[in-house]
């Protein structure tokens, strides 16, 4: 059975655990708070957040930082729900 | 709640397309019910926008590490415990 | 965690080492506010709540439990209710379960599928808790992981790993260090580190200097 990329328990690795920590950057807190607000408002739920994260292409999942995964997922959910039109956020970001 | 504390259960060894909360390393493994948490919304439907009803019973199930990992380094009675929803459990006698 | 720059939420905070996700997150908030899906004040309030969460709340629960066995019983029976009893905010999680380390049993918490963590009581999870190596190894090689964190369990201690696979959040009540009789709740709480409530450390033996 092929394993999904997020299903990490016992995943073969000898990697030591990097114990460096960083204080959350503004955008990370913002992403967390946006998701929290969307959940409180009933726009999306935690299972949708998790499912969206799990739907990332595996190599992207492994490369992405924690809140990059959240952002990917919340964008996915908002597009599915029709809150964001396809490409809307990209257009907003275009110079 | 079909299972009681102390009962032996097997985690269903089945593939599941889509979101679910049963970790692969426990599929097919036999453990013991350690706690009955009560009923919770089903994440498998809630993850796709539904309300997660009907709810499913959720159990804390404990497994002997030696039964889960062939070459586990530790004590005989070390345990790994995880929360598993009832529809992923089978009687193990 | 004092100044997060949220007093000027629309000021373009640019930094050379910010990932593209930073601008994306800000643009997303702008869009959602414009569409009236969220209110800026609510997002700010949520940020304030997140920043206000620290392991001090969890430590207070543990210290009170060390001092008052009846409180500890209640903490073990229903950690959410015990937190509310002390006026603490247990957060939106449906259930918080406290587990007790004893002479015979040591607990270690992980979330292999994502990064579930009792954030309301412990603050944000450390980076390593969310890292792939921890999520992989904490279940299959927990004694090796503990060893990396400097914890060597006695031979007669059973190790129980808890994988938070659903919506239950686990909080470890570490063992009260010997020689701490007579300490106040506050003094005891200072010994209870975040890591000791995850299970990757023992509590401090003496109060940190300063």
- Partner B contacted by C94 (CB < 8 A): yes
- Summarize chain C as % helix, strand, coil (round to 5): 45, 10, 45
Domain CATH for B39: 2.30.30.50
My answer on whether C116 and C83 are in the same domain is yes
The Cα of B75 is separated from the nearest Cα of chain A by a number of Å equal to 18
The string of pLDDT tens digits covering residues C56-108 is 999 999 999 999 999 999 999 999 999 999 999 998 776 899 999 999 999 99
β-sheet bridge partners, residue B8 = B32
pLDDT tier at B1, thresholds 50, 70, 90:
low
Does any domain span residue B45? yes
Residue C4 reports pLDDT greater than 50:
no
My answer on whether C59 and C73 are in the same domain is yes
Residue A24 reports pLDDT greater than 90:
yes
The Cα of C193 is separated from the nearest Cα of chain A by a number of Å equal to 15
My answer on whether C127 and C157 are in the same domain is yes
| pLDDT score at A1 | 56
Burial class (CB in 10 A: 0-12, 13-18, 19+), B83: buried
Does any domain span residue B1? no
Residue C210 reports pLDDT greater than 80:
no
- Partner C contacted by A19 (CB < 8 A): yes
Catalytic residues of C: 111, 114-116
Instruction: Provide the whole-model pTM.
Output: 0.94
My answer on whether C46 and C63 are in the same domain is no
Chain C residue numbers with beta carbons less than 8 Å from the beta carbon of A89 are 24, 27-28, 31
- Partner A contacted by B5 (CB < 8 A): no
Does any domain span residue B2? no
Q: For every residue of chain B, which 3-state class applies, written as one string? A: CCCCCCCEEEECCCCCCCCCCCCHHHCCCEEEEEEEEEEECCHHHHCCCCCCCCCEEEEEEEEEHHHHCCCCCCCCCCEEEEEEEHHHEEECC
Asked if A48 and B69 come within 8 Å (Cβ–Cβ), the reply is no
Instruction: Please indicate whether residue C201 or residue A2 has the higher confidence score (pLDDT).
Output: C201
Does any domain span residue C153? yes
Query: Which residue in chain C is spatially nearest to B41 when comparing CA positions?
Result: C167
CA distance C57 to C54: 6
Number of domains in chain C: 2
Number of domains in chain B: 1
Number of domains in chain A: 1
The Cα of B22 is separated from the nearest Cα of chain C by a number of Å equal to 7
Percentage of residues in chain B having pLDDT higher than 90: 96
Asked if A37 and C38 come within 8 Å (Cβ–Cβ), the reply is yes
Does any domain span residue A58? yes
Neighbours of chain B (3+ CB pairs under 8 A): A, C
What interface predicted TM-score (ipTM) does this complex get? 0.97
Distance of CA B80 to the CA centre of its chain: 11
Domain that holds residue B83: 8-91
The Cα of B3 is separated from the nearest Cα of chain C by a number of Å equal to 18
Domain that holds residue C31: 20-52
φ, ψ of residue A17 in degrees (nearest 5): -90, 120
- Partner B contacted by A9 (CB < 8 A): yes
My answer on whether C115 and C139 are in the same domain is yes
Residue C6 reports pLDDT greater than 60:
no
Residue C135 reports pLDDT greater than 80:
yes
The string of pLDDT tens digits covering residues C8-17 is 444 444 556 7
C-alpha Rg value of chain C to the nearest Å? 19
Asked if B24 and A9 come within 8 Å (Cβ–Cβ), the reply is yes
Query: Could you tell me if C160 and C210 are in contact, meaning their C-beta atoms sit under 8 angstroms apart?
Result: no
Domain that holds residue A80: 26-93
The string of pLDDT tens digits covering residues B30-58 is 999 999 999 999 999 999 999 999 999 99
Asked if C112 and B23 come within 8 Å (Cβ–Cβ), the reply is yes
Domain CATH for A53: 1.10.472.20
| pLDDT score at C16 | 65
């Amino acid at each position: 059975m092929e394993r999904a990329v997020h299903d990490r328990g016992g995943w073969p690795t000898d990697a030591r655990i990097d114990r460096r920590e960083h204080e959350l950057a503004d955008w990370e807190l913002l992403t967390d708070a946006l998701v929290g607000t969307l959940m409180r408002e009933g726009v999306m739920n935690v299972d949708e957040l998790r499912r969206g994260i799990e739907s990332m292409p595996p190599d992207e999942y492994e490369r992405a930082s924690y809140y990059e995964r959240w952002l990917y997922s919340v964008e996915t959910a908002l597009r599915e729900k029709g809150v964001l039109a396809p490409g809307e956020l990209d257009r907003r970001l275009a110079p | 709640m079909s299972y009681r504390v102390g009962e032996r259960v097997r985690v269903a060894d089945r593939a599941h397309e889509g979101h679910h909360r049963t970790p692969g390393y426990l599929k097919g493994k036999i453990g013991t019910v350690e706690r009955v948490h009560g009923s919770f919304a089903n994440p498998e439907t809630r993850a796709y926008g539904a309300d997660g009803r009907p709810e499913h019973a959720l159990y804390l199930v404990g497994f002997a590490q030696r039964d889960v990992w062939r070459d586990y380094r530790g004590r005989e009675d070390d345990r790994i415990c995880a929360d598993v929803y009832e529809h992923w459990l089978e009687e193990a006698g | 965690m004092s100044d997060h720059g949220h007093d000027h939420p629309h000021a373009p905070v640019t930094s050379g080492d910010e990932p593209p996700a930073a601008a994306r997150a800000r643009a997303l908030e702008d869009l959602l506010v414009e569409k009236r899906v969220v209110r800026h004040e609510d997002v700010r309030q949520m940020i304030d709540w997140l920043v206000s969460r620290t392991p001090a709340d969890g430590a207070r629960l543990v210290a009170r439990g060390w001092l008052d066995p009846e409180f500890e019983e209640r903490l073990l029976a229903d950690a959410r209710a015990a937190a509310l009893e002390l006026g603490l905010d247990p957060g939106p999680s449906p259930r918080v379960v406290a587990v007790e380390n004893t002479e015979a049993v040591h607990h270690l918490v992980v979330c292999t599928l994502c990064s579930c963590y009792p954030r309301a009581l412990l603050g944000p999870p450390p980076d390593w808790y969310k890292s792939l190596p921890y999520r992989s190894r904490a279940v299959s090689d927990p004694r090796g992981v503990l060893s990396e964190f400097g914890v060597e369990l006695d031979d007669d201690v059973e190790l129980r790993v808890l994988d938070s696979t659903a919506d239950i959040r686990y909080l470890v009540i570490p063992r009260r260090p010997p020689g701490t009789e007579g300490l106040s709740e506050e003094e005891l709480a200072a010994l209870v580190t975040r890591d000791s409530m995850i299970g990757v450390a023992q509590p401090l033996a003496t109060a940190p200097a300063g």
